[in-house]
Amino acid sequence: MSDASGTGSPARGFDSLAVHAGQAFDPTTGAVIPPVHFSTTYAQDGIGGLRNGYEYGRSGNPTRTALENQLAAIEGGTRGFSFASGLAAEDALLRAVLKPGDDVLLGSDVYGGTHRLLAKILGPWGVGLRIVDMSDLDAVAAALAEGHAPILWVETPSNPLLKITDIAGLARVGHAAGALVVVDNTFASPALQRPLDLGADVVVHSATKYLGGHSDVVGGALVLKDDALAEKVKFLQFAVGAVSGPLDAFLTTRGIKTLGLRMQRHSENAASVASFLQGHERVAKVYYPGLSDHPGHEIAARQMKAFGGIVSLALADGPTARRFAESTRLFQLAESLGGVESLVNYPDEMTHASVRGTELAVPEEIVRLSVGVESADDLIDDLDRALSSL
Ligand code: PLP
């Protein structure tokens, strides 16, 4: 088996790995679901005599190990790391790689909190930030020629405007300049897109979203292949301690087991919602990579198995966007995305409020939908009713 659990299981395909990787049954009882380990500390067989390396809950926990092995397997990496949130994962990676004086090249459409972390936390420690449209590889090459940047950081599809970046192309351009290519794979999830297979160096997740999948756990993940970098990340995870707790790790593992099924349904429902919205008179523009007129459609079709569950729209009458976001009933008005239930979000004042007034500001007419797994007709009726009420 390509998972790190060493169980000799014949799981190979994505859905088999999602169910089995890291999830060997309990050897003492045969329990098919490995037990959740809440113990914070581990008895030693004499000083330093650790059993399987477990010493203390911050440095290692078997439930977290099971998740980390599952993460590595489903993203096609060799090492996985689970954190208390997506931002904690991002912070660990950035601090493992960067030193004062370094620059990060950041995609021009990303989660507001990622920009905030770089601008407001790492900025004062001497890390520079340059914004680049990662879907334009010439612009990326030009930015790298202007000055070295150890990290290229991209979301594809991006939050909230669903921009698509050619991951293989970005890896070529980035590696030619000696940069590490980091892909935030939160929106696609490995069920639809595997950045490491396409040449990226590190995958980042807000596991709070599709990996967990049920809006009941906050978590983050890093997956990579390079052992030297993995050791640096592991040291930061241990030394700083933003690890996921055992119950959170268990819930994330449980969510991942149905990831493939859920992403299929999310994608089908999102495609129906996108085509409904595209024909609506109150909608000026629909952002969904599955639509043939989306500028990144061909690249997305090449590097993704399906187009995912997030659809954004621009209202024809900009100021009505805010009211629209408050008018749906099945789509609940809330932060976050990626759960089985549909959510609506008004980025300008919610998820992206922290980038107001910056290059990454989200226009006031934009509303983001996280399309859940409910019956598609009900979702469309809900949107239709809300649009008609404006
Ligand atoms: N990356 C993306 C694309 C996100 O949407 C988010 C959160 O919304 C994050 C990272 C941060 O993750 P978390 O909220 O789990 O810290």
Residue nearest to atom 8 of ligand 1 (CA): 336
Would you say residue 1 has pLDDT above 50?
no
- Residue 42 among the catalytic residues: no
What's the pLDDT at 9?
A: 77
- Tell me phi and psi for residue 171, to 5 degrees: -65, -40
Largest CA-CA distance found in the chain, in angstroms, rounded: 74
Domain 262-388 has CATH 3.90.1150.10: yes
For residue 70, the CA-to-ligand 1 centroid distance in Å is 20
For residue 263, the tally of other CB atoms under 10 A from its CB is 24
For residue 182, the CA-to-ligand 1 centroid distance in Å is 14
Q: What is the pLDDT of residues 219-274, one digit of tens each?
A: 999 999 999 999 999 999 999 999 999 999 999 999 999 999 999 999 999 999 99
Q: What is the pLDDT of residues 160-172, one digit of tens each?
A: 999 999 999 999 9
Per-domain boundaries in the chain: 2-256, 262-388
What's the pLDDT at 2?
A: 34
Residue nearest to atom 5 of ligand 1 (CA): 111
What's the pLDDT at 3?
A: 38
**Ligand 1 mutation target, pool 94, 110, 153, 209, most atoms within 8 A of CB:** 209
Q: What is the CATH number of domain 2-256?
A: 3.40.640.10
Task: Report the atom number in ligand 1 closest to the C-alpha of 186.
Answer: 3
Q: Is the CB of 159 under 6 A from ligand 1?
A: yes
Q: Is the CB of 86 under 6 A from ligand 1?
A: yes
Please state, for a pLDDT cut of 90, what percent of the chain lies above it. Answer: 97
CB 217 within 8 A of CB 251: yes
Would you say residue 8 has pLDDT above 80?
no
List 3, 184, 201, 348, catalytic entry: 184
Q: Tell me the one-letter amino acid at 130.
A: R
End-to-end CA distance of the chain: 55
Q: What is the mean pLDDT of the chain?
A: 96
CB 183 within 8 A of CB 53: no
- Residue 51 among the catalytic residues: no
Q: What is the pLDDT of residues 164-210, one digit of tens each?
A: 999 999 999 999 999 999 999 999 999 999 999 999 999 999 999 99
**Ligand 1 mutation target, pool 81, 83, 110, 111, most atoms within 8 A of CB:** 111
Going by pLDDT thresholds of 50, 70 and 90, the confidence category of residue 34 is very high
CA dist 310 and 333 (Å) reads 15
Going by pLDDT thresholds of 50, 70 and 90, the confidence category of residue 11 is confident
Q: What is the pLDDT of residues 332-389, one digit of tens each?
A: 999 999 999 999 999 999 999 999 999 999 999 999 999 999 999 999 999 999 999 9
Q: Is the CB of 189 under 6 A from ligand 1?
A: no
Would you say residue 6 has pLDDT above 80?
no
CA dist 128 and 16 (Å) reads 42
CA dist 316 and 284 (Å) reads 4
For residue 213, the CA-to-ligand 1 centroid distance in Å is 13
